[in-house]
């Protein structure tokens, strides 16, 4: 099998991708469509993309539909897919919790069942890439200075957005043990460069909530760097989990200044109550459970991604902020 994989890596690959209408799935789709190392891109989504693709094969499929695993397995075999990139995840919290769980957790299970079927029947799939989040580590006062990939995932308590991401990781772990197929989990920090992400939402408002007496360190990454990391993983056929972030960390207060916003600090209980009230009213960016991420540091060690994937972000944290602000039509402020 290893010799067969080596021969396949010597030519252009067939890559299937989910979540092509989300962040960063849409940009990754375009990148793969322009990639000389990719011969064909198979889109697994409920809707075809709005713009035409040179190498794209669009297959309408709903990951949550009954018997979707059988339909996807047939597609993988027919298109001779070699790598599956799973990006069908919400980039920020949503109000429809059951629907989000269905898409992310059940959808992941369905997709991985289809890949497992391909493996059992001697198919062509040889690797899977899944996008996760460093928020899964949780924001805790006893967190290490930099969390390694072996650190426990403690972020899901009372925060469905994060709990679903951790449940996806459990599905991926079970799949890896069951099949032995090389599977790459990318735990990505807060992403800049798109308003639809959790960071984009947080810094869109002029007043950014903060916990009085706390100023956690923050990691950020530009969305184009997330695309680069996913592309590298798709070609690497590498097994394991990798933290993905831009170089450097900054206090949350400094980030708020650099994006040209004002820090609205209040006691933790007041911040949580205000976020919950705005969320329930349908005008909030994040629910109250997000308050812990405004209180405690959760930064990740990215050395493994550099050593094994060869990934290093093009944009350091200040550069990612600057590009985000420029794209928004503003100018970055200066930190004190």
The pLDDT of residue 7 is above 60: no
Provide the pLDDT for residue 28. 95
Range of the domain at 161: 2-328
Name the pLDDT band for 133 (thresholds 50, 70, 90): very high
Q: How many domains does the chain have?
A: 1
In a domain, 150, yes or no: yes
Q: Is residue 336 part of a domain?
A: no
> Does position 336 have pLDDT exceeding 90, yes or no?
no
CATH of the domain at 39: 3.40.50.720
For 141-187, the pLDDT digits (tens) are 999 999 999 999 999 889 999 999 999 999 999 999 999 999 999 99
Mean pLDDT of 29-51: 90
Percent of all residues in the chain with a pLDDT value above 90, rounded to a whole number:
85
At 334, the pLDDT band (50, 70, 90 cuts) reads: very low
> Looking at residue 2, what is its pLDDT?
39
In a domain, 171, yes or no: yes
Residue 334 lies in a domain: no
Residue 16 has pLDDT above 70, yes or no: yes
Per-residue model confidence as pLDDT tens digits over 79-88: 999 999 999 9
Q: Give the tens place of pLDDT for each residue, 216-264.
A: 999 999 999 999 999 999 999 999 999 999 999 999 999 999 999 999 9
Asked if the structure places residue 45 within a domain, the reply is: yes
Residue 332's pLDDT is 52
Pairing verdict, β 190-192 and 207-211:
unpaired
- Taking residues 8-27, what's their average pLDDT? 86
Which long-range contacts link 97-103 to residues 24+ away (Cβ below 8 Å)? Answer: 97/160, 100/160, 100/161, 100/164, 101/160, 101/164, 101/167, 102/64, 103/63, 103/64
- Residue 130's DSSP bridge partners are 86, 185
Examine the pLDDT at 272 and tell me if it is beyond 70.
Answer: yes
Q: Is residue 335 part of a domain?
A: no
Distance CA 235, CA 8 (A): 10
Q: What is the pLDDT of residue 6?
A: 39
Please give the pLDDT value at position 166: 98
The pLDDT confidence band at residue 335, using thresholds 50, 70 and 90, is very low
- Measure the CA–CA gap between 31 and 18, rounded to whole angstroms: 14
pLDDT band per the 50, 70, 90 thresholds, residue 314: very high
106 vs 329, residue with greater confidence: 106
Q: Whole-model pTM? A: 0.93
The answer to whether residue 128 is domain-embedded is yes
pLDDT tens digits for 284-308?
999 999 999 999 999 999 999 999 9
Return d(Cα 232, Cα 285) in angstroms, integer: 32
Cβ atoms within 10 Å, residue 52: 9
The answer to whether residue 333 is domain-embedded is no
What's the pLDDT at 100?
97
- Using the structure block, give the residue that is written with the tokens 């959760």: 298
Across all residues in the chain, what is the average pLDDT? 93
> What is the rounded CA–CA span in Å between residue 25 and residue 238?
20
Residue 330 is predicted with a pLDDT of: 62
């Amino acid at each position: 099998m290893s010799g067969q994989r080596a021969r396949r890596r010597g030519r252009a690959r067939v890559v299937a991708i989910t979540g092509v209408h989300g962040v960063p799935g849409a940009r990754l789709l375009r990148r793969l469509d322009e990639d000389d190392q990719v011969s064909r891109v198979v889109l697994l989504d409920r809707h075809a993309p709005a713009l035409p693709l040179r190498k794209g094969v669009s297959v309408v499929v709903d990951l949550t539909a009954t018997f979707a695993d059988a339909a996807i397995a047939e597609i993988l075999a027919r298109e001779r897919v070699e790598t599956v990139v799973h990006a069908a995840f919400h980039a920020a919290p949503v109000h429809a919790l059951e629907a989000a769980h269905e898409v992310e957790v059940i959808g992941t299970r369905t997709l991985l069942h289809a890949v497992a079927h391909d493996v059992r029947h001697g198919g062509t799939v040889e690797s899977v890439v899944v996008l996760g989040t460093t928020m899964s580590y949780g924001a805790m006062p006893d967190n290490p200075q930099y969390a390694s990939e072996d650190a426990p995932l403690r972020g899901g308590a009372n925060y469905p957005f994060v709990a679903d991401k951790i449940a996806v990781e459990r599905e991926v772990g079970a799949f890896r043990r069951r099949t032995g197929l090389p599977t790459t989990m990318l735990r990505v920090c807060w992403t800049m460069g798109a308003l639809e992400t959790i960071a984009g939402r947080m810094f869109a408002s002029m007043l950014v909530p903060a916990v009085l007496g706390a100023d956690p360190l923050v990691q950020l990454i530009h969305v184009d760097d997330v695309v680069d990391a996913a592309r590298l993983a798709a070609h690497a056929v590498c097994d394991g989990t990798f933290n993905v972030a831009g170089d450097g960390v900054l206090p949350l207060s400094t980030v708020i200044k650099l994006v040209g916003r004002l820090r609205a600090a209040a006691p933790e209980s007041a911040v949580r109550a205000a976020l919950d009230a705005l969320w329930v009213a349908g005008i909030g960016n994040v629910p109250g459970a997000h308050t812990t991420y405004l209180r405690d540091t959760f930064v990740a060690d990215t050395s493994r991604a550099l050593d094994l994937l060869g990934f290093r972000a093009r944009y350091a944290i200040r550069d990612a902020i600057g590009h985000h602000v420029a794209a928004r039509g503003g100018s970055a402020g200066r930190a004190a």
